[in-house]
């Protein structure tokens, strides 16, 4: 079943273009430059009545939710955020009838996420699922939503399911935007960006050898920072999560602006930073962040689609261009490969990392 791949994680990383095509299939409406998500069972009038969107999930599903929240705010201009399901369920949440809650889960069986959905149902909240496993407990409990269509995911570290989560959230954000004031031109731009995204992923995967070289170069590091701001922040968090999960290297993500408020004290030659640098309106700020790290002797791996000044970063992992709003989906791919290769160099059990389960169905 590995089809020549050394492990499931590698196989599932490689499957991402195909998995994403499945998630997009039949869901993009080129005529009206919007998305068609019939499984939501929400009419335009219902979609218009949503005043807030909240994503709830655990681990990588929570970080994907954070990407989703950014997309909803950017494209639909509806306030949105993400919260770990474990926090949500235990803090007696205020459940607001005008909020659309999105329960995010690959397995559809994660106990905390299921309990959060039940808490929402009990309080009359509107909750939809963003679930990979059809027929799972969360999918059944939600009753409506968007299936991820990533196909079965075996590796504990989630790759193709996470990528399809943010892809589905881009479609949700597009739909919410287009029943409001997102222009036809912007809608068309996002639709075209999504259609092209699977091929862009192929381009990232083609750089596998270069990413493996980067991993070998930093294989002695015991700690790593992942740094991003705004769109890049959840990307950094997910990158750190992947590295922790499968390589056991201590990784911490922080927002670039927080550098000077604490983390900078830890920067030295033994603390590499992976900096997320999209070519967007924050490019100059992110270049400044790299300069501050370099000035303290910290090695920098820049993940970027911008033309950075020569020699600024020690290593560049190049990402193809897409629409800026969709950057977070694509920027996650090189980070999966970086974690994968680091864990491989360190001889870890890639598919079954210690202490972790594919889905945590107990408390
Ligand atoms: C964790 C896994 O236990 O559960 C993570 O280690 C995963 O990789 C998280 O993201 C959530 O799982 P699910 O199935 O609800 O998406």
**pLDDT value for 361:** 86
Whether ipTM exceeds 0.90: yes
Name the residue among 330, 326, 335, 287 with its Cα closest to residue 309: 287
Distances (CA, A) of 302 to 274, 307, 334: 6, 11, 11
DSSP for residue 228 = E
Q: How many Cβ atoms sit within 10 Å of the Cβ of residue 196?
A: 15
Catalytic residue at 358?
Answer: yes
Q: What is the pLDDT of residues 7-26, one digit of tens each?
A: 999 999 999 999 999 999 99
Taking the CA of residue 157 as reference, the ligand 1 atom at the shortest distance is: 8
Q: Which residues of the chain have pLDDT under 50?
A: none
Which of 155, 158, 163, 350 to probe ligand 1 with, by most ligand atoms within 8 A of CB?
Answer: 158
Q: Closest by alpha carbon to 270, among 288, 239, 287, 293?
A: 293
The H or E element containing residue 242 is helix 232-247
Ligand 1 centroid, distance to 313 Cα (angstroms): 32
Specify the pLDDT at position 327: 98
Question: In angstroms, what is the span from residue 114 Cα to ligand 1's centroid?
Answer: 12
Distance of alpha carbon 234 from alpha carbon 236, whole angstroms: 5
Report the pLDDT value the prediction gives residue 360, as an integer from 0 to 100: 85
Two tokens, residue 99 = 């909020």
Name the pTM for this structure.
0.97
Q: Whose CA is nearest to atom 4 of ligand 1?
A: 359
Q: How many Cα neighbours within 13 Å face the side chain of 193?
A: 23
Euclidean distance between CA atoms 245 and 173, whole angstroms: 29
41: left (phi over 0), alpha (psi -120 to 50) or beta: left
CA 55 to ligand 1 center in whole angstroms? 15
Residues with CB under 6 A from ligand 1: 58-61, 105-107, 110, 113, 156-158, 356-357, 359-360
Torsion of CA 172, 174, 180, 181, to 10 degrees: 160
- For the segment 235-269, what is each residue's pLDDT rounded down to a tens digit? 999 999 999 999 999 999 999 999 999 999 999 99
Phi, psi of 53 (to 5 degrees): -130, 135
């Amino acid at each position: 079943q590995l089809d020549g791949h050394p492990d499931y994680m590698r196989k599932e990383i490689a499957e991402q273009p195909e998995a994403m095509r499945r998630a997009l299939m039949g869901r993009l409406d080129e005529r009206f430059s919007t998305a068609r998500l019939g499984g939501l069972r929400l009419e335009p009038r219902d979609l218009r009545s949503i005043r807030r969107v909240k994503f709830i999930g655990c681990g990588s599903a929570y970080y994907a939710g954070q990407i989703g929240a950014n997309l909803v705010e950017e494209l639909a201009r509806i306030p949105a955020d993400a919260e770990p399901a474990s926090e949500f369920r235990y803090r007696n949440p205020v459940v607001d009838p005008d909020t659309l809650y999105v329960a995010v889960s690959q397995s559809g069986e994660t106990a905390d996420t299921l309990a959060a959905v039940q808490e929402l149902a009990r309080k009359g909240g509107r909750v939809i699922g963003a679930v990979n496993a059809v027929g799972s407990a969360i999918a059944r409990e939600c009753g409506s939503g968007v299936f991820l269509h990533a196909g079965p995911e075996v590796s504990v570290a989630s790759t193709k399911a996470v990528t399809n989560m943010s892809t589905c959230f881009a479609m949700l954000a597009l739909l919410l935007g287009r029943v409001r004031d997102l222009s036809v031109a912007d809608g068309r731009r996002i639709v075209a960006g999504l259609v092209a995204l699977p091929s862009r992923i192929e381009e990232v995967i083609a750089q596998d050898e270069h990413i493996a070289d980067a991993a070998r170069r930093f294989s002695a590091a015991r700690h790593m920072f992942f740094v991003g701001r705004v769109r890049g922040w959840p990307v950094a968090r997910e990158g750190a999560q992947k590295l922790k999960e499968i390589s056991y290297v201590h990784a911490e993500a922080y927002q670039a602006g927080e550098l000077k408020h604490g983390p900078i004290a830890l920067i030295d030659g033994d603390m590499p930073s992976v900096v997320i640098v999209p070519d967007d309106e924050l490019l100059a700020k992110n270049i400044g962040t790299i300069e501050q790290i370099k000035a303290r002797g910290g090695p920098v791996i820049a993940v970027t689609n911008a033309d950075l000044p020569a020699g600024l970063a020690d290593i560049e992992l190049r990402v193809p261009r897409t629409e800026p709003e969709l950057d977070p989906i694509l920027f996650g791919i090189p980070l999966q490969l970086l974690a994968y290769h680091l864990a491989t160099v360190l001889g870890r059990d890639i598919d079954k990392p210690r202490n972790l389960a594919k889905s945590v169905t107990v408390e």
